[in-house]
Amino acid sequence: MMTKKRSLEKVQPLLEEFKRELRRIYGSRLKRLIVYGSYARGEASEGSDLDLLVVLDRVDDPLAERERLSDVILDLSLRYGIVVSVLVASEASLERPSPLFLNLKREGVTV
């Protein structure tokens, strides 16, 4: 098991590349990228997936937005050998009292 800092350092090149692609696709609609799950907690091990939340100014259809990113996600997963799991949400939806969003507030790391 790695520390939180080492977990994030390990995936930093992937995160930087993903952020570049997100900026290209969304421009100013992109508000932030949050790592959550085992990498955010410093508990990642070999085979752990990288859980990411893409936060946009607004999202009409989260599944359509996720599909829009599917080629980028697949490419990064294959090249870096890490399964990348992505959710897309709006800033406003993060205020909802869902277990996922409460957990994100507790352990998520904005990158």
- What superfamily would CATH give domain 4-110? Beta Polymerase, domain 2 (3.30.460.10)
In the chain, % of residues over pLDDT 70: 95
Closest by Cα among 105, 85, 110 to 94: 105
The pTM of the full predicted model, rounded to 2 decimals, is: 0.89
What pLDDT, on a 0 to 100 scale, did the predictor assign at position 2?
A: 52
Read off φ and ψ for residue 77, nearest 5 degrees: -60, -45
pLDDT tens digits, residue range 51-84?
Answer: 999 999 999 998 899 999 999 999 999 999 999 9
Closest by Cα among 97, 109, 98 to 43: 109
